[in-house]
């Protein structure tokens, strides 16, 4: 079952998850050109904007609780070396060369490396782009544990009745999480008339979320569950599904299920779409250490203070290969879980454009978090550099 991701290839899909309908809503609509699209930001505007989203676009607050999950600093800190194209550099040189604002490495739940750049401080938040998808997936698991979603095999129309009679008839929640609905979708970022460029930009049907309104008019291309096809609009749709099932905003539900019980250190913010819905596919801003705590929460199977937040099977299933995906050359690309990218030897990642990632190696209890302001949304040289950094970190902590 091959992906139909298109000419842009898998390297674009790894990060351009956040651009569906690029439907951020400006706080100051009198200046639309100045802040029209995060994708156009570069340099200092990019670095400042990524850590200050809530003062630029409309967001909802994910409130933290009264306790903070400890992240002890290990006695031995690491100083990785990064080798790219035969040239070896220090971790500081790597961060400068690739505009990395924050790098955090956790081994056995302890900090073995924590560094900041681009004017960022430990208390500063940074936008996640598509890393948010993996959190939305986790909230689906929480809703199943709470009985708000009865089964992962339920039809999506049971929770979003506006989709009845559309190409989503017969599509399950699980198939949506696997990006295998079979609904026709054009994710060509260079085409201004593509679905990804047009969907969800404004409310066209009062009372209906703009992404739901757009997606329910699309035709079917394949039987559900047969083809992995990257569709960012559907990740926002899953966010709508969680909100409808729980009767809460994603931000409120994330606060109740992750931020408060697990002990995040600071409130986060979640970008909203033109309909006021928190975007399931994009843009949670949080501190670097809270990214690490998200990784630890997933690695621990979704337990918070001894309480099960998701079913006992959820994280293992969400972070394993549920469907095959292929790169632009037709080669298998590692697989896809439930809004998590699968890596070799049981590792998995949450990934966003411009260099955001939570990379987890469960067997080694190793989590690597990167926040960045890459000069491009993605691209092979940038991905190669990040992989080289990961290799350097693994060598420094003594794992293969």
* Domain annotation covers residue 156: yes
Residue 35 is predicted with a pLDDT of 54
Name the β-bridge partners of 332. Answer: 326
Residue 15 is predicted with a pLDDT of 39
Give tens-digit pLDDT for 57-99. 999 999 999 999 999 999 999 999 999 999 999 999 999 999 9
Instruction: Determine contact, residues 374/214, Cβ cutoff 8 Å.
Output: no
Give tens-digit pLDDT for 250-262. 999 999 999 999 9
φ and ψ of 345, to 5 deg: 60, 35
DSSP state of 131: H
- Min mean pLDDT across 299-308, 312-321, 374-383 is at 374-383
* Domain annotation covers residue 237: yes
Give tens-digit pLDDT for 139-183. 999 999 999 999 999 999 999 999 999 999 999 999 999 999 999
Confidence of residue 30 (pLDDT cuts 50, 70, 90): low
Give the total number of structural domains in the chain. 1
The CATH number assigned to the domain holding 229 equals 3.40.710.10
* Domain annotation covers residue 33: no
Confidence of residue 231 (pLDDT cuts 50, 70, 90): confident
Confidence of residue 329 (pLDDT cuts 50, 70, 90): confident
Q: To the nearest whole number, what is the mean pLDDT of the chain?
A: 90
Confidence of residue 184 (pLDDT cuts 50, 70, 90): very high
Residue 122 above 70 pLDDT?
A: yes
Q: What average pLDDT does range 26-40 have in this prediction?
A: 65
- Distance, in Å, from the CA atom of 48 to the CA atom of 41, rounded to the nearest integer, reads 10
Q: Nearest CA to 45 among 118, 97, 95?
A: 118
Residue 23 is predicted with a pLDDT of 66
Q: What average pLDDT does range 274-283 have in this prediction?
A: 92
Residues of the chain above pLDDT 90, percent: 76
* Domain annotation covers residue 38: no
Residue 244 above 60 pLDDT?
A: yes
Q: What average pLDDT does range 108-136 have in this prediction?
A: 97
Residue 92 is predicted with a pLDDT of 98
* Domain annotation covers residue 37: no
Q: What average pLDDT does range 327-335 have in this prediction?
A: 78
Confidence of residue 22 (pLDDT cuts 50, 70, 90): low
- Compute how many other C-beta atoms are within 10 angstroms of the C-beta atom of residue 2: 12
* Domain annotation covers residue 46: no
Owning domain of residue 174: 9-25+54-397
* Domain annotation covers residue 40: no
Residue 312 above 80 pLDDT?
A: yes
Residue 13 is predicted with a pLDDT of 42
Which contacts qualify for 84-93: CB closer than 8 Å, 24 or more apart?
84/384, 84/385, 84/388, 91/115, 91/389, 91/392, 92/117
- Distance, in Å, from the CA atom of 145 to the CA atom of 357, rounded to the nearest integer, reads 27
* Domain annotation covers residue 258: yes
Higher pLDDT, 36 or 341: 341
| Integer CA distances (angstroms), 294 to 58, 133, 170, 251, 260, in order | 23, 12, 32, 15, 12
Q: Nearest CA to 183 among 212, 148, 140, 147?
A: 212
Residue 195 above 90 pLDDT?
A: no
- Distance, in Å, from the CA atom of 183 to the CA atom of 215, rounded to the nearest integer, reads 9
Q: Write the burial class of residue 66 (CB in 10 Å: 0-12 exposed, 13-18 middle, 19+ buried).
A: exposed
Structure tokens at 193: 């008339």
Positive or negative CA dihedral for 246, 248, 250, 253? negative
The pTM is what? Answer: 0.92
């Amino acid at each position: 079952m091959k992906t139909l991701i298109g000419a842009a290839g898998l390297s674009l899909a790894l990060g351009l998850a956040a651009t569906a309908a690029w439907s951020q809503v400006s706080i100051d609509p009198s200046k639309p050109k100045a802040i029209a699209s995060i994708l156009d930001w570069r340099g200092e505007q990019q670095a400042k904007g990524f850590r200050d989203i809530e003062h630029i676009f409309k967001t909802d607050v994910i409130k933290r609780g009264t306790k903070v999950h400890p992240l002890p600093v290990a006695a031995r800190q690491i100083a990785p070396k990064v080798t790219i194209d035969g040239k070896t550099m220090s971790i500081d040189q790597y961060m400068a060369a690739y505009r990395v604002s924050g790098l955090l490495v956790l081994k056995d739940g302890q900090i073995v490396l924590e560094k900041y750049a681009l004017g960022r401080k430990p208390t500063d938040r940074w936008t996640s782009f598509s890393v948010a998808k993996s959190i939305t997936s986790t909230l689906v698991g929480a809703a199943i544990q709470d009985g708000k979603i009865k089964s992962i095999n339920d039809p999506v129309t049971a929770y979003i009745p506006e989709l009845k009679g559309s190409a989503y008839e017969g599509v399950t929640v699980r198939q949506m999480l696997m990006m295998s609905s079979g609904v026709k979708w054009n994710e060509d970022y260079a085409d201004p008339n593509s679905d990804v460029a047009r969907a969800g930009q404004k409310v066209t049907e009062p009372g209906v979320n703009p992404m739901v309104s757009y997606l329910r008019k699309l035709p079917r291309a394949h039987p559900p569950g047969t083809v992995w096809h990257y569709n960012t609009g559907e990740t926002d749709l899953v966010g709508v599904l969680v909100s409808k099932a729980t009767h809460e905003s994603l931000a409120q539900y994330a606060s109740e299920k992750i931020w408060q019980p697990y002990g995040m250190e600071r409130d986060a913010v979640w970008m909203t779409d033109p309909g006021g819905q928190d975007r399931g596919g994009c843009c949670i801003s949080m501190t670097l250490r809270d990214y690490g705590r998200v990784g630890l929460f997933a690695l621990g199977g979704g337990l918070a203070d001894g309480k099960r937040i998701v079913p006992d099977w959820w994280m293992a299933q969400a972070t394993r290969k549920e469907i095959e995906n292929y790169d632009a050359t037709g080669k298998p690309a590692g697989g896809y879980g439930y809004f998590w990218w699968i890596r070799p030897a049981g590792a998995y990642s949450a990934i966003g454009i411009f260099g955001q990632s939570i990379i987890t190696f469960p067997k080694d209890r190793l989590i690597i978090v990167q926040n960045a302001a890459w000069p491009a949304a993605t691209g092979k040289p940038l991905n190669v550099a990040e992989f080289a950094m990961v290799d350097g970190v693994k060598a420094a902590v003594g794992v293969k």
